[in-house]
Structure 1
Amino acid sequence: MDALVKTPAVIAVDLDGTLTPTDTLHEAALCLLRDSPLNLLALPFWLMRGKAALKAQVAARAALDVTVLPYNLPLIAWLKDQRAAGAKIVLSTASDRRVAQAIADHLGVFDDVIASDGTTNNAGPNKRAALDARYGEGGYDYAGNSTSDMPVWAGARQAIVVNASAALARRAAGVTTVAKVFPGHAITPRQWRKLFRVHQWLKNLLQFVPLLAAHEAGNLHALATLLLAFVAFSLCASAVYMTNDLLDLESDRRHPSKRHRPFASAAVPIKLGVTLAPVCAVASLGLGLLVGRTFTVWLVFYFLLTCAYSLRLKRLALIDCLTLAALYTLRIIAGAAAVAITLSFWLLAFSVFIFLSLAFVKRYAELQLLAGAGNDHAHGRGYLVADAPVVQALGIAAGYAAVLVLALYLHGETVVTLYAQPELIWFAVPLMLFWVSWVWMKAHRGEMHDDPIVFALKDRASLVIAQLVALCFLLANQGLGG
């Protein structure tokens, strides 16, 4: 229970982890990595001059947009009430003054700013010394969140504990009166799943397609190999998704739904993602080597292409969708490499066109969502909202081209050697035409809320069509070997 709060003359407020649940230095460093990656080579040299110098150099070069940072809204509302009651609100932070002043100007709740200045790192004892010099020991209340705030609380009249553990609150109570507690939130299982994008792992089932197409589904050794390949690709995908989310924070925070992602909302700290992403990548590589050398080559190529997509290609109109289609198709190619199956031209052609259509669906759905929110362009992408009709036309054309490839395949000689009754597969053609049309109609209605692949795995009509198409191929296969 909060202690009785008497309105003090001054309330000093920490920034990182307190006013905002994120760390502004980490945010700025990611901006630097995204926009000027070569500058990161200078980080060790800046750090040799001290933390304050490092923060100043990063802040001077990083285009950090403080208007989209996540903020502790309950704390800000409380600070506004205290200010209205006569308190002076001070932002006292170890962040560089450029960042601190920009945030103070944006929020409009602070009367003064004390921050690192390129020479002195305003943290711990230095922060207390600055506050004591300006307001006198015991002449201020202090809101903080970490053990580095203990020296400041020891000199404060009262402590406001924000986003901290119960143990830290007890430690703060040992040096001063704890006037108010703003509880933190632990990472939930749902946020862990979103962090790793577990639902996106379903896409990696595409690696089993070559085995099914070659009528080798009963090969247990191949199935075991593909299972290992599936895990390798899933860990690789998680590493890439984390990296993409870290580099795309500002765009995600402007997006109606992506702003709830773990890093964008600061439900998961940036430093955790920076640690987990390379761990997943290394584990993926280790498993890939167990599968085989050729598979590992495709796995590494997939990783490099996804990195290129995250850093640059996703910002280029049309190129982004072509890259997404390639990434989907690479899963099939890697699956074939894992079990040494030669892919047919027909399967590759069908894959490229159908996945290109789905990539355009993904982008079209985003443009529709942005249009509904009143935006005129997609931040961090190369599209205007007005491009939606063109994206729709290109996507529908690609989807119908995929069905045309399927129809031409049924007219060729290869199908006769694989199926006893290939004419039964013709029923799959109108089913696929319906499904492509259905997906695009759902997108046009604004009902495509998920990734198209994930949507297909949840949508009842899509599941029924998938079962009917599979039935067509199974019936066509009857009689082989008899």
Structure 2
Amino acid sequence: MDELSPTEDPSIALVVDLDGTLSRTDTLHEALLGLATREPLALLKLPLWLSEGRAELKAHLVDRGVVDPETLPMSPGVIAMVTAAREEGRPTALVSAADHRQVTAVAEATGLFDEAYGSAEGLNLKGTEKAAFLTNRYGPAGFDYLGDSAADAPVWKAARRAITVGASRRVRQVAEGANPAAHHVEPPEGRAWAMLRAMRPHQWSKNLLLFLPVLAAQDLGSFPTVLIAFVAFCLTASAVYVINDLLDLPADRAHPRKRNRPFAAGDLSAVTGIAMAAVFLLVALILTVIVGSPRFIALIGIYFGLTFLYSLWLKRELLIDVVTLAGLYTIRIGAGAAAAPVTLSPWLMG
């Protein structure tokens, strides 16, 4: 079923999960990205923190800063449901496995919840622990639960009604198996278009400069090799764009145009972004080895380093910004000559 009845029992609480449900993103992943940006060396402590338990890991991350609730991409459908529940006089609660300080901050920022509970020392509010907590708080079947993950199955089983938000078909089946009174809202959108947008293919045209040396030398026999080099450059560039978007999430969400980018808008998760960047770089590395030119390998390595630094820092420095962009254009031409290989015409380098 996809519709909820218009009139609800006012004694039944509406309990909402945070990550992936109220928020279209995961605050744990965002906290890790924030740590990577602010204190990259602190990432070395992650194994130690994780050895203490997941709740303790989240606590350590929140100690270094709560993810700003104002920047989180919220689900309009969930907000509408919570608002409707409040108008009906139903108690509303935000209950999440995220650190209790993060959950409280989000609840206070939205102003939509009567109660807020999160993980604390020795308690990770997820799965069976969350189900037991909610049953103890609201009674058996005394609440409806909105979630998005298969890990919510014990909670849905304990709830009066299971409600999935943006869930995959598999998660919907899990919810229906756990609770016959299952409802589904906000069906998941196709991610292919969002992934393509995150790759920014319109920027690949700059890499057409790789073909200039071959065209100038009229060596069309080297075209297939340069085409492989071109794809390697495009994938490398896309990997950098994805990494940059992940590290710039708070700034992008505060920007009127950039807030609609796939990661900032919550259309793609941080985990998806990391996987995309890793795959792009791996395939680019394989293609680079296929090209086989040591000079090309060196140039694409320099290109990756410069574009990464440009995205993180150099683009904010006016003079360095111009010099870096000019250098990147030169690297593309040099890489095309190295891939062919052909002698680089002096007039191409200006």
- Cα offsets for 1:254-277 (capped at 9, x unmatched): 222222221111112211111121
Structure 2 CA distance for partners of 1:167 and 1:190, relative to 1, 3 Å: closer
Task: Report SS of the residue matched to 1:40.
Answer: helix
Tell me which residue corresponds to 1:249. 249
Tell me which residue corresponds to 1:378. none
Tell me which residue corresponds to 1:136. 139
Structure 2 CA distance for partners of 1:126 and 1:317, relative to 1, 3 Å: farther
TM-score, normalised via structure 1 length: 0.68
Higher mean C-alpha deviation, range 178-187 or range 132-141: 178-187
Aligned length: 346
Contact in 2 for aligned 1:29/1:58 (Cα 8 Å) = yes
User: Unaligned 5+ residue runs, structure 1?
Assistant: 350-482
Tell me which residue corresponds to 2:9. 7
Contact in 2 for aligned 1:34/1:311 (Cα 8 Å) = no
Contact in 2 for aligned 1:3/1:179 (Cα 8 Å) = no
Structure 2 counterpart of 1:307, one-letter code? F
TM-score, normalised via structure 2 length: 0.92
Distance 1:68 1:111 in 2: 22
* Greater RCO structure (CA 8 Å; 6+ sep): 2
Task: Report SS of the residue matched to 1:20.
Answer: coil
Structure 2 CA distance for partners of 1:179 and 1:226, relative to 1, 3 Å: closer
Structure 2 CA distance for partners of 1:108 and 1:320, relative to 1, 3 Å: farther
Q: 1:124 aligns with which of 127, 130, 144?
A: 127
Structure 2 CA distance for partners of 1:320 and 1:6, relative to 1, 3 Å: same
Distance 1:161 1:305 in 2: 43
Task: Report SS of the residue matched to 1:90.
Answer: strand
Structure 1 counterpart of 2:76, one-letter code? L
Q: After TM superposition, give the deviation of residue 26 of structure 1 in Å.
A: 0.6
Contact in 2 for aligned 1:169/1:178 (Cα 8 Å) = no
- Cα offsets for 1:130-165 (capped at 9, x unmatched): 112222222111111111111011111112221113
Structure 2 counterpart of 1:259, one-letter code? R
Distance 2:64 2:349 in 1: 45
Distance 1:78 1:84 in 2: 10
Tell me which residue corresponds to 1:309. 310
Distance 1:70 1:138 in 2: 30
**Structure with larger Rg:** 1
Query: For 1:57-456, what aligned pairs fall within 5 Å after superposition?
Result: 57-62=60-65, 64-178=67-181, 180-212=183-215, 215-217=216-218, 219-291=219-291, 292-343=293-344, 346-349=347-350
Structure 2 CA distance for partners of 1:274 and 1:79, relative to 1, 3 Å: same
Distance 1:147 1:48 in 2: 24
Structure 2 CA distance for partners of 1:306 and 1:46, relative to 1, 3 Å: same
Q: After TM superposition, give the deviation of residue 317 of structure 1 in Å.
A: 4.2
Task: Report SS of the residue matched to 2:282.
Answer: helix
Structure 2 counterpart of 1:276, one-letter code? M
Determine what percentage of the aligned residue pairs are the same residue.
45
Task: Report SS of the residue matched to 2:162.
Answer: strand
Q: After TM superposition, give the deviation of residue 3 of structure 1 in Å.
A: 4.7
